[in-house]
Amino acid sequence: MQQFDKPDGQGLLTREGFALALILKNTANSQTIIVPIVSSDIGQLFETQWLLSNTRGGFCCGTVAGCNTSRYHGLLVGSLNPPASRIVTLSSCRETITLGGSEVELGTFEFEGKLSTAGLEYAVEFRRDVGVHFDYAIGAVELTKSVYLLPDSDTAAIAYDFTSVGEEFDFTVRPLAAMRDFHSLQKSDAAFETRRQGSGLVIKAEQDGRAELLLASEQMTFQDDRQWWHNFLYRKERERGLDYLEDLWSPGIFKCHIDSPVRLILWANLSESATTEDMSELDLDVIVDSLVLREKELILMIKGFQFRIFESNFHGVNLSLLAPFHCNALRQTHNPRKYMTSLSMLFSSHL
C-alpha cells in the first residue's frame, strides 16, 4: 500500500487516508474559491486544476487557464458501465464573439508548435463552488461561462450568462468531441457518426457504438460544419514521456445573435438513448440548488469524522480547487475504506 509522509513527520499516511483527508479539507472549508486571472502567473494557471465529480464515477476537469493539459481533462467524462470503462466524450468547446466586425476567441488551446492564449486576454476571474465559472470582459460585453455536472447522471451543463450587453453581436460555440477511452487518445482516422435529433445532435464513434454524446440547446441553433481539429497538445502527457497529441471531431457550431442580457445553456449527455426532450425538461436553477444542498449534507456528515486536516500537494499537483465529492457516494457505500481507495486511485491515475 502506497504511503505518504505527514507534514509534521509523525508517521505515515495511507493512500486512502490521504484521499479522505483531502476531501474533508476541501469540503469542510466549503466556500467560493476565487483565482484572479489578470494578476496571476500564466504558468500557474496552466498548472492549477479543477475537478467536478458525480456519484457514478463520472467527472469533468481542466485547468484554471481553460486549456486541457492532460488526456483526462474534458467537459464530460462518463461511463455506460459505471464506474468502469470511462469515456472522454466532450473534450472542450471553442467559443467566439463577433463584435464590430471582429472575431474574438474566448478559448485557450495548445497545439503542436503553437499556444493560443487569446481567451486569457479577456479573462478576468476563475471561481469554483458547486460548479466552475470563468468570467470574461470583452469591451461592453460581460460573460460568465459556468460548468456544472449533474450528481446522478453523466450530464453536464455549460452555461453562458451574458450579464452586460453594450452592443449586439453573434456568439458561436464549436463542440470538440473525443469519444474514446479516457486512457487513450483520439486520431482523425476514427469513424464518427453524427445525426440531428430535434434541436440538438447525437455523436457516436464506431469503436464504441453504444455510447452516444447528445448535445442540445434550446436557445441556440445548430449549423452543420463537420471538421477534424488536429494536434491538440497535452503538456502533462509530454512531461510524462507518453503520447501527447490528439485530434478532435467537431460536428458544427451552435450559434445565437445576442442584443440583450441572456443565459444560454449547452447540455451534454452520455447515454445509450437520451433525447433532446429529456434535456428540455432539465432546470439548471433546480440542479444548482440540489448541488448546494448535497454539499451542505456532506459538510454535516464529515463533522462526525475525527481527522486532522492538513495542507499538502499530491504528486506535486495543486489540488486546492478539487470540488467536494457528493454525499450520496459516501452515504450509499457499505465499505468506506474501499470507497476511499477508489477515490485515491482516481487522483493518482489522471491528475
Residues 49-53, mean pLDDT to the nearest whole number: 95
Task: Answer yes or no: is 289 within a domain.
Answer: no
The one-letter amino acid at 80? L
Cell 481539429, located at residue: 229
Kindly state whether residues 68 and 114 are assigned to the same domain.
yes
Task: Answer yes or no: is 79 within a domain.
Answer: yes
- Picking from 246, 261, 282, the residue at the C-terminal end of a domain is 282
- Where does the pLDDT of residue 23 fall: very low under 50, low under 70, confident under 90, or very high at 90 and above? low
Kindly state whether residues 230 and 217 are assigned to the same domain.
yes
Model pLDDT, residue 347: 43
Residues 317-339: pLDDT tens digits? 444 444 444 334 443 444 444 44
Contact indicator for 122, 136 with CB cutoff of 8 Å: yes
- Where does the pLDDT of residue 179 fall: very low under 50, low under 70, confident under 90, or very high at 90 and above? very high
Residues 271-291: pLDDT tens digits? 887 788 888 889 999 999 999
Q: b vs e for 298-315, b when ≥16 Cβ sit within 10 Å of the residue's Cβ?
A: bbeebeeeeeebeeeebe
Kindly state whether residues 232 and 203 are assigned to the same domain.
yes
Kindly state whether residues 199 and 330 are assigned to the same domain.
no
Model pLDDT, residue 236: 97
Percent of the chain surpassing pLDDT 70: 77
Q: How far apart are CA 12 and CA 6, in angstroms?
A: 6
- Picking from 261, 282, 303, the residue at the C-terminal end of a domain is 282
Beta bridge partners of 233: 245
Could you tell me if residue 139 is left (phi over 0), alpha (psi between -120 and 50 degrees) or otherwise beta?
A: left
H/E run at residue 299 = helix 284-302
Q: How far apart are CA 46 and CA 115, in angstroms?
A: 12
Kindly state whether residues 154 and 234 are assigned to the same domain.
yes
Kindly state whether residues 20 and 68 are assigned to the same domain.
no
Kindly state whether residues 12 and 55 are assigned to the same domain.
no
Kindly state whether residues 305 and 346 are assigned to the same domain.
yes
Contact indicator for 177, 211 with CB cutoff of 8 Å: no
pLDDT tops 80 at residue 341: no
Q: How many domains does the chain have?
A: 2
Model pLDDT, residue 343: 44
Model pLDDT, residue 100: 83
Q: b vs e for 33-45, b when ≥16 Cβ sit within 10 Å of the residue's Cβ?
A: bebebeebeeeeb
pLDDT tops 90 at residue 228: yes
Residues 310-316, mean pLDDT to the nearest whole number: 42
End-to-end CA distance of the chain: 19
- Picking from 228, 257, 282, the residue at the C-terminal end of a domain is 282
Q: How far apart are CA 28 and CA 21, in angstroms?
A: 10
Model pLDDT, residue 9: 37
Q: Which residue has the higher pLDDT, 207 or 261?
A: 261
Q: b vs e for 75-101, b when ≥16 Cβ sit within 10 Å of the residue's Cβ?
A: bbbbbbeebeebbbbbbbbbbbbebee
Model pLDDT, residue 253: 97
Residues 49-60, mean pLDDT to the nearest whole number: 94
Beta bridge partners of 257: 170
- Where does the pLDDT of residue 252 fall: very low under 50, low under 70, confident under 90, or very high at 90 and above? very high
Residue 327 lies in domain: 1-30+295-351
Model pLDDT, residue 272: 85
pTM above 0.75, yes or no: yes
Lowest mean pLDDT across 178-182, 244-248, 282-286, 344-348 = 344-348
Residues 70-104: pLDDT tens digits? 999 999 999 999 988 899 999 999 999 999 889 99
Q: Which residue has the higher pLDDT, 306 or 211?
A: 211
Residues 108-155: pLDDT tens digits? 999 999 999 999 999 999 999 999 999 999 999 999 999 999 999 999
Residues in the chain, total: 351
Model pLDDT, residue 280: 85
Contact indicator for 260, 164 with CB cutoff of 8 Å: no
Task: Answer yes or no: is 287 within a domain.
Answer: no
Q: Which residue has the higher pLDDT, 312 or 27?
A: 27
pLDDT tops 50 at residue 248: yes
Kindly state whether residues 79 and 147 are assigned to the same domain.
yes
